[in-house]
Structure 1
């Protein structure tokens, strides 16, 4: 079984932009670049849906500043809820009367 090829964000973006601006069809461009036709189609779809944020690489999601702020607030809320639950348990433990 062959090694899985990885492509840089720049390569993917350039391939999609070439496909958009060229008179050639997807099959010809994929052959010229030495990539799988289905990869090019998938990259085009991601680029069309997400624009500049389409190819994050290594599973790291690129976020707009607004989405990043929302993510940070959600993380902070999650941590605050955890701390609150710990404090509730501590209060319950210390409020019990000794036997």
Structure 2
């Protein structure tokens, strides 16, 4: 549960707000004010949506790339644990 100061927004509200920024020609701040959403929230949603589409955010990973990175990090962690276990089982010389 979030704090009493944190408002949760549904995926639909986020998508609609992002679409409004794209279609209205207004700034993120202007759209956020109209909708009563924090400009920082909407800016974050908008940047992540652009990154997920692979557009205009240099250095930002797409959703697919983030998923792959998460998977690879988990795989790496598991392999390192296996290596550590095998090292402990090996008799010292």
Same fold (TM over 0.5): yes
How far apart are 1:23 and its partner, in Å? 3.3
Q: Say how many residue pairs are matched.
A: 80
- Residue aligning to 1:19: 21
Encode CA deviations 1:18-45: one digit per residue, 9 max, x unaligned: 2112233323321232101222222222
Runs (4+) off by over 4 Å: none
Greater relative contact order (Cα < 8 A, sep 6+): 1
Q: What is the TM-score normalised by the length of structure 2? A: 0.59
CA distance in 2 between counterparts of 1:78 and 1:11 reads 41
- RMSD value over aligned CA atoms? 2.8
Q: What is the TM-score normalised by the length of structure 1? A: 0.57
Encode CA deviations 1:73-95: one digit per residue, 9 max, x unaligned: 3133122112112212xx23xx8
2:4 is aligned with 1:5: no
